[in-house]
Amino acid sequence: MTVVGVVPAGGSGERLGANRPKAFVVLAGRPLLEWSVEVLATVCDRVVVAVPAGYEAGPDRVKGGASRSASVRAALAVAPEAAVAVVHDAARPLLTRDLVERCLLELREGDTDGVIAAAPVTDTIKEADVHGRVLRTLDRSVLWTVQTPQVFRAATLRNALDVGAETLAAATDDASLVEAAGGTIAVVEAPVENLKVTTATDLRLAETLLAWRVPS
């Protein structure tokens, strides 16, 4: 069964505000992107990366799309051999092989169409109106913050991504598109270290966490 890593790395990194796209910002000596591609390559048969225009040079790179999900679709499109897709954001450089393997195991042994890395919510979550007035407090015990990796049977993901550009742009993860197409999804608990680099503070945090890593 061919497992293909799909890495959306085509964003501009506006909130990080560096002088280059976020995936190419250097973290602990190498581009952000390389940290997760290296891990994925130990588990996947091939890793395809969707990059911003002008960064396509190199093997298995494709030009990203106008939205994150459009980038996922562009990368998946060049890997017709994929039976399973492991989607992982370049913006999460602290990915571990263990997490990818646990997601793949659950996909293989479970009965859902997709499996996603997620962390149980630790803060209290409230819903507020546009004026900041609290409407209700949600039951935290059933809430998860969703991350990547997200793994799917490739045919299921291709089908879910076969929607218009507006629907793709509105999706903040791939599982929600699979859910909208009627698919089922399971969560696998991820370590909190699997953070997403959005701001300059996140980049410093990621650097600190990498420095703390025990060599394996």
Question: Which positions from 183 through 212 interact with ligand CTP, judged by CB under 6 A?
Answer: 196, 198
Q: Which of 68, 73, 102, 153 binds ligand CTP (CB under 6 A)?
A: 68
Do residues 163 and 68 make contact, with C-beta atoms less than 8 angstroms apart?
no
Q: Which residue's CB is nearer to ligand CTP, number 23 or number 40?
A: 23
Question: Which positions from 7 through 36 interact with Mg ion, judged by CB under 5 A?
Answer: 11
**How far apart are alpha carbons 210 and 177 in whole angstroms?**
32
Do residues 168 and 69 make contact, with C-beta atoms less than 8 angstroms apart?
yes
Minimum gap (Å) between residue 202 Cβ and ligand CTP: 10
Instruction: Say whether residue 6 binds ligand CTP (CB under 6 A).
Output: no
Partner that binds at residue 90, options Mg ion, ligand CTP, none, CB closer than 5 to 8 Å by kind: ligand CTP
Instruction: Say whether residue 64 binds ligand CTP (CB under 6 A).
Output: yes
Partner that binds at residue 31, options ligand CTP, Mg ion, none, CB closer than 5 to 8 Å by kind: none
Instruction: Say whether residue 52 binds Mg ion (CB under 5 A).
Output: no
Cβ neighbours around 138 below 10 Å, total? 12
* Number of chain residues interacting with ligand CTP (CB under 6 A): 22
Partner that binds at residue 203, options ligand CTP, Mg ion, none, CB closer than 5 to 8 Å by kind: none
Minimum gap (Å) between residue 7 Cβ and ligand CTP: 7
Minimum gap (Å) between residue 1 Cβ and ligand CTP: 25
- Distance of CA 163 to CAs 6, 116, 131, 170, Å? 18, 21, 34, 11
Q: Which residue's CB is nearer to Mg ion, number 11 or number 65?
A: 11
Instruction: Say whether residue 31 binds ligand CTP (CB under 6 A).
Output: no
Residue 52: φ, ψ to 5°: -65, 155
Q: Which residue's CB is nearer to ligand CTP, number 42 or number 172?
A: 172
Query: Which residues contribute to the site for Mg ion (CB under 5 A)?
Result: 11
Query: Which residues contribute to the site for ligand CTP (CB under 6 A)?
Result: 8-15, 22-23, 50, 64-68, 71, 89-91, 196, 198
